[in-house]
Amino acid sequence: MLLHPDRLFPADPATRDIARALYHAVEKAPIVSPHGHTDPRWWGENGAFANPAELLVIPDHYVVRMLISQGMAYEDLGIGPDADSDPRAIWRRFASQYHLFQGTPSRLWFDHSLSQVFGIEERLSHHNADEIYDAVNERLALPDYRPRALYERFGIDVIATTDSALDDLGWHQMAKDSGWSGRVVPTYRPDAVIDPETQGFAANLDRLGELTGCDTGSWQGYLDAHRARRAFFRAMGATATDHGHPTPKQPTCPQPRPRSSLRASAQAAPPPPRPSCFVLRCLPKWRGCRSRTVWSCSFTPAPCATIARRFSPATVATAASTSRSRSALPRRSSRCSTPWAWNRTCD
């Protein structure tokens, strides 16, 4: 048996009995998933998933980060311009390092998926990598494993995707126009137009201005552009925003101009150790905005939210390859694993 029925319950027998009773009371309740990280294209096209690697390994940033931290190259995991395009080879590499995930939420989730979704009761390893790959791949070709069929099978009532502030939400519109009864809503994720260290930040500001007709070179115009995009997301069903901020601390910085902050950030080499004033000035705007519409706002403050873009694949792989260099990598803070969230009336 791959999964123990009490795997997430307390060890104390009396407490475990209470946990079981509580769980069984809600086990069949509909799923409301406000932070799904699913690809909106799944719901719009409802096509078959390509293969096990592209579904379960390559897009999972928790899996990728673990493997990169142990010296595996991004290219070996199908990521980057020179990436390996063989999904079976990528799966084999993942399977050969599966022992690294022991005791992690990723391992719990993956074992659960193999057992409960694909009916596989063997633990993944390099010995059975091909056998399990073929079994999963065979099932993915069946109509019952299309995205919308799984939505119904899992008893989902509503699921949210995570979408860039610049996204046209075309896949969401396609799902709506298809007549499908499932409810998939977008979530506003504006990091690409908030953090000046984001690659292509200047172009992103220009695009934000084009989409909204606002002057994103001025502070007021920049905020107005966000309001316009949030209104668009609301019209498409969004009820939440999601933010990756380096710190929850309140700023003591002067009011910035977006492009001024961009120039200051571009001239800094290496990147400044403290978050830019521009990023900090944005934070209270998401918490203190006013309107009649209530949004759920979640924040993940900690360096881990942006490690992948602050360090090149070569830097991470080189640092992870020797124990002496590992100390140069940012350590995962306990703050990384627990986003803080609240409901606020936001415009």
In this predicted structure, the answer to whether residue 340 has a pLDDT above a threshold of 50 is no
In a domain, 163, yes or no: no
The pLDDT value given to residue 280: 56
- Residues 193 and 224: their CA atoms lie apart, in Å, by 13
- Residues 238 and 195: their CA atoms lie apart, in Å, by 22
- Stretch 41-63: mean pLDDT, rounded? 96
What is this structure's pTM?
Answer: 0.78
| 37 vs 188, higher pLDDT | 188
Say if residues 109 and 56 touch (Cβ distance below 8 Å). no
Q: Are residues 95 and 195 in the same domain?
A: no
Closest by CA position to 133, among listed 92, 162, 183, 174: 92
**145, 178, 199 - which closes a domain:** 145
Say if residues 109 and 118 touch (Cβ distance below 8 Å). no
**Out of 53-62, 71-80, 247-256, least confident range:** 247-256
Q: Are residues 213 and 299 in the same domain?
A: yes
Q: Which two tokens stand for residue 8?
A: 């997430």
Q: What is the pLDDT of residues 273-311, one digit of tens each?
A: 444 566 655 655 655 554 455 677 777 665 444 444 444
The pLDDT value given to residue 244: 75
Phi/psi class of residue 196: alpha, beta or left (left: φ > 0; alpha: ψ in -120 to 50)? alpha
The pLDDT value given to residue 121: 95
**145, 169, 198 - which closes a domain:** 145
The pLDDT value given to residue 219: 85
Q: Which two tokens stand for residue 141?
A: 């070709």
Give percent of the chain above pLDDT 90.
Answer: 61
Q: Are residues 331 and 233 in the same domain?
A: yes
Q: Helices then strands (H, E): number in the chain?
A: 16, 8
3-state secondary structure of 80: coil
Q: What is the pLDDT of residues 85-103, one digit of tens each?
A: 999 999 999 999 999 999 9
In a domain, 168, yes or no: no
- Stretch 222-231: mean pLDDT, rounded? 92
| Counted domains in the chain | 2
- Stretch 307-328: mean pLDDT, rounded? 40
- Residues 96 and 71: their CA atoms lie apart, in Å, by 13
Q: What is the pLDDT of residues 12-48, one digit of tens each?
A: 999 999 999 999 999 999 999 987 779 999 999 999 9
In a domain, 226, yes or no: yes
Place of tokens 């096509």: 47
The domain spanning residue 81 has which CATH number? 1.10.2020.10
Q: Are residues 242 and 322 in the same domain?
A: yes
Say if residues 298 and 242 touch (Cβ distance below 8 Å). yes
The pLDDT value given to residue 272: 43
The pLDDT value given to residue 34: 86
Q: What is the pLDDT of residues 237-266, one digit of tens each?
A: 999 888 876 666 655 666 555 665 554 554
The pLDDT value given to residue 96: 97
Say if residues 212 and 218 touch (Cβ distance below 8 Å). no
DSSP 130-168: HHHHHHHHHHHTSGGGSHHHHHHHTTEEEEEE-EETT--
| Angle between helix 87-96 and 61-69 (nearest 10) | 60
Q: Which two tokens stand for residue 140?
A: 């993915």
Q: Are residues 112 and 194 in the same domain?
A: no
Q: Are residues 255 and 334 in the same domain?
A: yes
| 313 vs 198, higher pLDDT | 198
Q: What mean pLDDT, rounded, does the chain reach?
A: 81
In a domain, 14, yes or no: no
In a domain, 165, yes or no: no
In this predicted structure, the answer to whether residue 267 has a pLDDT above a threshold of 50 is no
The pLDDT value given to residue 285: 61
Range of the domain at 253: 187-347
Q: Are residues 136 and 194 in the same domain?
A: no
Q: Are residues 226 and 118 in the same domain?
A: no
- Stretch 179-189: mean pLDDT, rounded? 95
Half-sphere exposure of 120 (CA within 13 A, CB side): 22
The pLDDT value given to residue 234: 94
In a domain, 233, yes or no: yes
Kindly state the DSSP code that residue 195 receives in the 8-state scheme.
-
In this predicted structure, the answer to whether residue 187 has a pLDDT above a threshold of 60 is yes
Q: Are residues 307 and 208 in the same domain?
A: yes
The pLDDT value given to residue 334: 33
The pLDDT value given to residue 166: 97
In this predicted structure, the answer to whether residue 329 has a pLDDT above a threshold of 50 is no
Q: Are residues 207 and 311 in the same domain?
A: yes
The pLDDT value given to residue 261: 58
Q: Are residues 98 and 204 in the same domain?
A: no
